[in-house]
Every structure is written in C-alpha cells, then in structure tokens.
Structure 1
Amino acid sequence: MAERWSDLHRRLHQQLLQQQALLPDGEPLLLAVSGGQDSMALVGLLNDLKRLHHWQLQLWHGNHGWRPEAEQQARELQAWAQDQGLPIQVDDWESPKRDEASARDWRYGQLQTHAQRLGCRRVVTGHTASDRSETVLLQLARGSHRRGLSSLRQRRTLSGTIELVRPLLGFSRSDTAQLCQQLGLPIWLDPSNSDPRFSRNRIRHEVLPVLEALHPGASERISQLSERLAQEQDGGEQLVDLALGSLQTETAQAQPALRRRPLSGLTLSNQRLLLHHWLTREGLSLGNAEQLEQLLHRLPPHCGPGQWDLSRGRSLRWDRELIWLEP
C-alpha cells in the first residue's frame, strides 16, 4: 500500500496529535475490520499514518456465518491484508445466533481475547459520526437517560487495561466512502445493512436522509451533540460524587444506602441525577428515563415504604429513613 495523503489523513493526524492518549505513539493496535467501507477506511488511514505514529497494526475479522457468501468474503479480505503486509486473524463463529446483541458480545469477546494475547491495549473500530447520530436517535426514541445519548464514546474500557477506541467519530460515512474511492480500497458489502427488519437500518436509510435533506450536516451535528453531552457528563460526575457523599450511608446489614429525607428535599432534577448516578456506580440500571420518573414519585417520605426491582437480581427498598439495595 503506497503512502498517500489527503485532507482526511491530515484531519486524523492532527486529531491524534491533540489527543495523544487516543492512539499513543508506538502502540500495538488491534483493528476490528468487517470489510465494509468504514473499517476499510480505518485500515487505510492508520496504515498510511503509522510511519508518523510508529504503531504496529494487527487486523481482526469475525465471520458470523449468517450469509452464504460470508466465508468467501472473509478469505478474500484475509488475502488482501496479507498482500498488503498486514497481519490478520480471521475467526469463525462456531455456534452463531441470529441476533445483533449476541453477535456484538461474540465480537468483543474475541477482540478482548486476541488483544490480551497480542499485548494490545487499544482495540480500534471504524465507528463514524453517522453511527453515533443513529445511536442518539434510537436512544431518544427509547426514552433514554442522558447517559444513553452519549453512549458511543471515543474511548471506553473493554476489559482491564484494554480500551476500545473509535478515532473516526469526527468523520461521516460519506467521508469514509470518499476515502475508499481515493485510495482504491476494496469493500465487501453486507446485504444485512439494508435489511429493514433491523431498527438501525431504518434510521440509516429512512430517517437520517430526511433530516439531511431538511438540514444538511444534521448527522455530524447530532454526533457533536453526543460528544458535548459526554464531556459535560464526565465533568459533572465529580460534582455529583461530592453531593452523593453527604447522602450515602449503610444499613445495619452493611448494605449501601441513601438518606431518604435529604434526597427527597432536593429538586426532582437533582434527585434524578443523584439516584441515577448512584445506581450506575453500583452497576445497576432502571432501564429508561420513564421508569426513573415513576420511581422518583414513590420516594417522598409521605408515600411510605416500598420496593422496586432492578436488573441483575437486585432490588431497591426504602423505609422512612433510608433507601437501600439488596438481593
């Protein structure tokens, strides 16, 4: 693959210089490559920029076995990578399930295993601003809390010291298409990306085109909103931790608890923020914003004792003085 330079190369290079912790200089990187235009653009950009950032690139492709042509496409991608001098691991899903959540869990599990084996602290995916805007719209429709609107972040912990990194969130899907064309990169299409049975595809092909027609650049602005929410959330969490400190206590059985009366004396917006943060820190979730509102209306002291079932076999219980968690 010859060295090339474009405006997209420049943009990513400058971003990585400004955010050096994203893909640190000299790091071994494990790239998740589906063969679609976004992941191929990721490979093209990072392979061209590695002479400046001194990375060692390792590619990974997962064959879900959902389509008859998937096996052939996986082998073609493998042959292409080897021809470019890029090491690649192709894994076949031995017991595939026909749902996106199971496939995602399998992919990230395999990526985590290979990252540990290779000594990679960065697993890199080709998610773009277009992906993030789709996620925001889906979460809005589901009634998500603010955390859900900022869920597709540039960095998140995958396991231990291994991070999942998305360096292309500042690029649109049209950017990656343009780059693949400019660099002559092959693309392996997945017909399931047009299947209207998947809600994300309907957002992609039916909703976002209307928004773009009404307000060109809508996808990137929605993605930027998600980024701002993520930054505000990270900064606000320090203040929320301080506020929670005055409310936290334990039951006689040493179970984590909050003081009910001081919490109920706050405005609903602050109650919502503190309770959501407390439960999230305990690894729990109420599901959506509507359920959180229903719970808050049951917590004022005059409502008496009560109970609310949570995820992972946990329950929230309260008496006159305390709100606590128990199995």
Structure 2
Amino acid sequence: MAERWSDLHRRLHQQLLHQRDLLPEGDPLLLAVSGGQDSMALTGLLSDLRRLHHWPLQLWHGNHRWRPEAEQQAQELQSWAQGQGLPIQIDCWAQPQTDEASARAWRYGQLQTLAQTLGCRRVVTGHTASDRSETVLLQLARGSHRRGLSSLRPRRTLGGSIELVRPLLGLTRSDTAQICRQLALPIWLDPSNSDPRFSRNRIRHEVLPVLEELHPGASGRISQLSERLAQEEEGCDQLLDLALTNLKSTTAQAQPALQRRPFTALARSNQRQLLNRWLAAQDISLGNAEQLEHLLNRLPPHRGPGQWDLSRGCSLQWNRDLIWLAHSQRSQPVQNDLNQGGSSATP
C-alpha cells in the first residue's frame, strides 16, 4: 500500500505516541474488519502508520451469513487484502442467530481465539466517536447507571491477557468517510445498518441528525462527555476499592460478603457506587438505575432478610448482618414486598 499522509494520520500518530500502551510499538495487531467505512478507514490508517510503529497486521472478517451477498463480499474483501499484502482470515458463523447480542458474542469469541493462536495481545476495532455518542444516548434512554454512559472505552479486557482496543474514538464517522475517499479504499455496505428495526440505527439516522442540526458538533461533545466520565470512573474506582476494604466480610461458607449495617449507613449515592463496583469485580451487572434503586430500598436492616435475582444465574442475598452473592439455584425465593402480589424479587 502506497505511503500517504493526512491530518487524520497525524492526529492518530500523535495520539499513539502520547498513549504508547494503546498499540505498543512492534506488537502484532489483530484488526476486526467488517468491510464497512469505519473498519476500512482503520485498516488504511494503521497500514500507513506501520512504517513508524512497526506492527505486524492480521485482518479478520466474520461472515454472519445474514445476507445473500455476504459470501461474495467476504471474497472481495479477501482479494483486496491479499492485493495489499495484508493477511486475512475469514470465518463463517456455523449456526447464525438473528440478534445483535449473539452476533457480537460470536465475533468476540472468534477474535479472542484467533488472537490467542497468533499471540496477539491487541484486538483492534474501528469504533468511532459517533459510535460512542450513539451508545451514550441508548444508555440514557435505558436509564443506565453512570458507568453505562462510559462503557465504550478505548480499551477493555477481551479475555486473559488480550485487550480490545478502539484507537479511533477520537475520530467521527465523517472523518472515516474522508479517509476512505482520500485513500481510495473500497467499502462494502451492509443494508442492515439502515434497518429501523435496530435501535442503534434509529439513533444514528433519526436522533443524532436532529441534535446535530440543533447543536452542530453534538455527536463529538457527547463522545467527549463519555470519555470524561470514563476517566472519572477510573479515579473513583481507586477510592471505592479503599472503601470496600473496610466493608468486606465473608459468610460462614467463605463466600465474599459486605457488612450490611455499615453499608446501609452510608449515603445512598455511595451505596450505589460501592455495590456496582463490588459486583462488577465479580463480573455481575445490576441492570438499570431504576432496578438499582428498588434493590437499595430493600437493604436497610429493618427490612429483614431478602434476595434479588441478578444476571448469570446468580442472586444477591442478605441476612441481618451480611450481603452476599449466591447461585440462584442454591437459594430459596424470598417474598418480594415491592409487588402487592408478593412474587419473587426479580428486577
């Protein structure tokens, strides 16, 4: 691929020099490439910057088998990559499902497996500031906790020592379109990106254009807000871990627990943050803010013992002294006084 340089190349290069642990020099990188605008811009930019950062690049494309033309597009992308001297692996979903969550889980599972095989510590995606602003709006509409508003971060653990990295969060979708034009990169369009059945598409095509018309640059500012929240969360997490040290205990069965009375004596805002942090460390999510409030209303000691069903087949349980995490199948349902019918306390 011919050497080319633009202001966007310069911006990304300077960002990587400032954040050297994002895409460390000389580390092999595994790029997730859908063939769409953002992932092709990612491929073009990182391919051009290889001479400065010395990364070996490996491309991966997942064929979800959702569309008749998917097979042909995968073959065309493979031919293009080979013509550029970029190795690429194409995987087909053997038992495709129609929901986005399942597709995302399959993609990341395939990427993690390939990264482990290749010895790559970084899996790289083309998420942009536009994607992050869409995520913020969706999370706001769902009543997410503050942590959910900062969920699309520059890096996160994918599994073991492998990290998922998003180096283009400083660029917008208009920036990636510009790069694709400047570098004459091919783009393979996915019609599902315009399907109004997907909530993200409606945010992208109906909500954000209105916000941009009212307040030009809104998408970038929303993304920057998410970045600031993420940075604040990192600092806050250190303080929360210190506070949790004084609240932690164990049950008679040696299960991790929190001391109920000291915990509920704290301000409600601190209870929210501490409980989220404690459960997040155990890879458990509490759901949206409204559900969290219902749960906290049941934790004061005068409310007696109780149980709250969580994700991943677990439940939060409490007695007079402790709050702990248990497997739901091992516990007996406790009557829920949130509903007049007295059904199980499931959020």
TM-score, length basis structure 1: 0.98
Amino-acid identity (%)? 80
Aligned to 2:162: 162
Q: Which moved more, 1:93-102 or 1:11-20?
A: 93-102
Q: How many angstroms apart in 1 are the aligned matches of 2:11 and 2:109?
A: 31
Residue equivalent to 2:273? 273
Correspondence list, 1:72-111, <5 A: 72-111=72-111
- Number of the residue aligned with 1:248: 248
CA deviation vs aligned residue, 1:267-314 (integer Å, no higher than 9, x gap) = 110111111111111222221111110011111122222221222222
Distance 2:64 2:226 in 1: 30
Letter in 1 for 2:66: W
2:210 is the alignment partner of 1:210: yes
Structure 1 stretch displaced more, 94-103 or 197-206: 94-103
CA drift of 1:76 comes to 0.6
Matches of 2:235 and 2:120 in 1, distance apart?
A: 28
Q: What are the within-5 Å matches in structure 2 for residues 1-327 of structure 1?
A: 1-327=1-327
1:188-236: CA deviations, max 9, x gaps?
A: 1000000000000000000000000011111111111111111111111
Compute the displacement of 1:140 (Å): 0.8
1:325 Cα deviation (Å)?
2.1
Q: 1:101, CA displacement in angstroms? A: 1.0
Shift of the alpha carbon at 1:126?
0.4
Question: What is the alpha-carbon distance in structure 2 between the residues aligned to residue 303 and residue 110 of structure 1?
Answer: 46
Gaps of 5+ in 2: 328-347
3-state SS of paired residue (1:297):
helix
Question: CA–CA distance in 2 between the matches of 1:245 and 1:143?
Answer: 29
Looking at structure 2, the residues matched to 321 and 311 of structure 1 have their Cα atoms a distance apart, in angstroms, of: 24
Deviation at 1:91, TM superposition (A): 1.2
- Cα deviation, residue 326, structure 1: 2.1
After TM superposition, which residue ranges in structure 1, 4 or more long, deviate above 3 angstroms?
A: none
Q: How far has the Cα of 1:65 moved from its partner?
A: 0.9
Query: What amino acid is the match of 2:214?
Result: L
Q: Secondary structure at the match of 1:246?
A: helix
Which secondary structure does the structure 1 equivalent of 2:307 belong to? strand
Equivalent pairs, count: 327
When structure 1 is superposed on structure 2, of 299-308 and 115-124 the one drifting more is 299-308
Matched residue SS, 2:298: coil
Q: CA deviation at 1:94?
A: 1.7
- How big is the shift at 1:320? 2.2
Instruction: Please state whether the residue corresponding to 1:223 is helix, strand or coil.
Output: helix
What amino acid maps onto 1:233 in structure 2? E
Q: Displacement of 1:158 after TM fit?
A: 0.8
Distance 2:227 2:311 in 1: 27
Distance 2:325 2:104 in 1: 30
How far apart, in 2, do the equivalents of 1:104 and 1:307 lie? 31
Q: Higher mean Cα deviation, 316-325 or 54-63? A: 316-325
Taking the aligned partners of 2:30 and 2:312, their CA distance within structure 1 comes to 32
Distance in structure 2 (CA, Å) of the matches to 1:195 and 1:160: 35
